[in-house]
Amino acid sequence: MQALILVGGEGTRLRPLTSTMPKPVVPLVGQPFITYMLEWLRSHGVDDVVLACGFLPDALVAVLGNGEELGIRLRYVVEPEPLGTGGALKHAEELLDERFFMLNGDVLTDVDLTAQLALHDRAGARGTLALVAVDDPSAYGLVPLAADGAVREFREKPGPEELIDTNLINAGAYILERELLAGMPSRGTNFSIERDVFPRLVGHGLYGYEADAYWLDIGTPARYLQATYDILEGNVQTEVGARLAAAGMRLIDGAEIDGRVAAPAVIAAGCRIGTHATVGGRSVLGRGVTVDEGAHVEGSVLLDGATVGARSSVRGSILGPRSRVGERCQLDAGVVLGQGVELGAHNTLTAGARIFPGVHLPDGAIQF
């Protein structure tokens, strides 16, 4: 089975992490985000993936190559300029099979695609959308269903005055028959599958599969941390989550540990944790991360080569690659440091402060 994944968005809401790398390769619990999608697809029989890129995918190609390591055939299609979700599909038409999955490239989920496919077959559908229930559906595509599973309406991000009686949203995972492409705007046109295609398909073979599954759009730092915690706690089914559980909730790959590691935690090779330092309770350390004496790291992600100075505390925060936190700093509640940021000693950052790549702050510069 084949899948087309849309990875053309710029990921602006995830800055400063995405200032230096595209969203699909941002590491999530030790592996590029997109590999979670690839593992999930593979577990449902997908062996051929086309990545629809809105701009040059150098960083993606460098990390994923032709997919050999993942056991999937990977191909890249690059739009001359971003063509929207519909335009991206049409642009990839030549490579597509008679039937394929189409996916938004920014969701972490374990939706049962095999069951979705069975429903698609049973209904004789031309298109079947995975749907999930969420508390606040307004930021998504709303999709009320009829009793027989047919889509009654597709309304992308309705305004506050438009009342739609459902909490089912488009999860960004579709099964489509290739013949549908014949009825779409021509190749090279910028259009939206959510606004320009799905509403018109209502009543013409468009079905919904209501999934009872984990689902999260990882578009913001808060959601990125949530996704991290959910993988560590096994709230979403992933391969790394299974390995972590099998290892007693601490996966430590050749680190030098004098302090303490509290579960759940994933610690990559080459990390150093100093005496009386504590790391864990939902933390992830990338390769070569240093946490100095007496420092405390909790509920945080420290990407490759990040360092935390002695007696500093880092909670609920994300430290970009090779960022450095000086001694006796406090980072709390959603702080994000971009790649290579250097914080001098005695800085206090909180409440979602985002420091952009390469910025250097002197000792005691910020005290929130």
Tell me which DSSP letter residue 233 carries. Answer: T
Q: How many CB atoms lie within 10 A of CB 284?
A: 29
Q: Distance (Å, rounded) from C-alpha 286 to C-alpha 335?
A: 17
Q: Distance (Å, rounded) from C-alpha 143 to C-alpha 226?
A: 25
The residue nearest ligand GDD at its CB is 8
**Burial level of 270, CB count in 10 A (0-12/13-18/19+)?**
middle
Q: Are 39 and 70 a contacting pair, CB within 8 Å?
A: yes
Nearer to ligand GDD (CB atom), residue 124 or residue 160: 160
Report the residue from 2, 18, 35, 104 that binds ligand GDD according to the rule CB under 6 A. Answer: 104
Report the residue from 110, 194, 217, 332 that binds Mg ion according to the rule CB under 5 A. Answer: 217
Minimal distance in Å, beta carbon 104 to Mg ion?
6
Q: Distance (Å, rounded) from C-alpha 320 to C-alpha 111?
A: 30
Minimal distance in Å, beta carbon 176 to ligand GDD?
13
Query: Taking contact as CB under 5 A, which single stretch among the options 174-182, 210-218, 261-269, 304-312 is the one that binds Mg ion?
Result: 210-218
Minimal distance in Å, beta carbon 4 to ligand GDD?
9
Report the residue from 3, 4, 6, 319 that binds ligand GDD according to the rule CB under 6 A. Answer: 6
What track of x and - describes contact with Mg ion for positions 104 through 133 (by CB under 5 A)? --x---------------------------
Q: Distance (Å, rounded) from C-alpha 13 to C-alpha 223?
A: 11
When CB distances are held under 5 to 8 angstroms depending on the partner's kind, the choice from Mg ion, ligand GDD, none that residue 299 binds is none
Nearer to ligand GDD (CB atom), residue 84 or residue 281: 84
88 makes contact with ligand GDD (CB under 6 A): yes
Distances, alpha carbon 26 to alpha carbons 18, 63, 232, in Å: 7, 11, 17
57 makes contact with ligand GDD (CB under 6 A): no
Question: What sign has the CA pseudo-torsion 75, 76, 77, 82?
Answer: positive
Report the residue from 17, 72, 125, 169 that binds ligand GDD according to the rule CB under 6 A. Answer: 169
Nearer to ligand GDD (CB atom), residue 140 or residue 229: 140
# of chain residues touching ligand GDD (CB under 6 A): 25
Neighbour-count burial for 229-247, b at 16+ CB within 10 Å, e otherwise:
bbbbeeebebebbeebeee
- Collapsed DSSP state (helix, strand, coil) of residue 185: coil
Question: What sign has the CA pseudo-torsion 184, 188, 193, 199?
Answer: negative
8 makes contact with ligand GDD (CB under 6 A): yes
Contacts to ligand GDD from residues 187-246, by CB under 6 A: 194, 217
82 makes contact with ligand GDD (CB under 6 A): yes
Query: Taking contact as CB under 6 A, which single stretch among the options 2-10, 38-46, 237-245, 356-364 is the one that binds ligand GDD?
Result: 2-10
Minimal distance in Å, beta carbon 308 to ligand GDD?
32
Minimal distance in Å, beta carbon 23 to Mg ion?
9
332 makes contact with Mg ion (CB under 5 A): no
Total residues belonging to the chain: 368
Q: Distance (Å, rounded) from C-alpha 359 to C-alpha 357?
A: 6
Secondary structure of the chain: what % helix, strand, coil (to 5)?
25, 30, 45
Q: Is 23 one of the catalytic residues?
A: no
Annotated active-site residue in 157, 200, 204, 243: 157
* Catalytic sites, residue numbers: 157
Q: Which residues are at the interface with ligand GDD (CB under 6 A)?
A: 6-9, 52-54, 79, 82-85, 88, 104-107, 140-141, 156, 169-170, 172, 194, 217
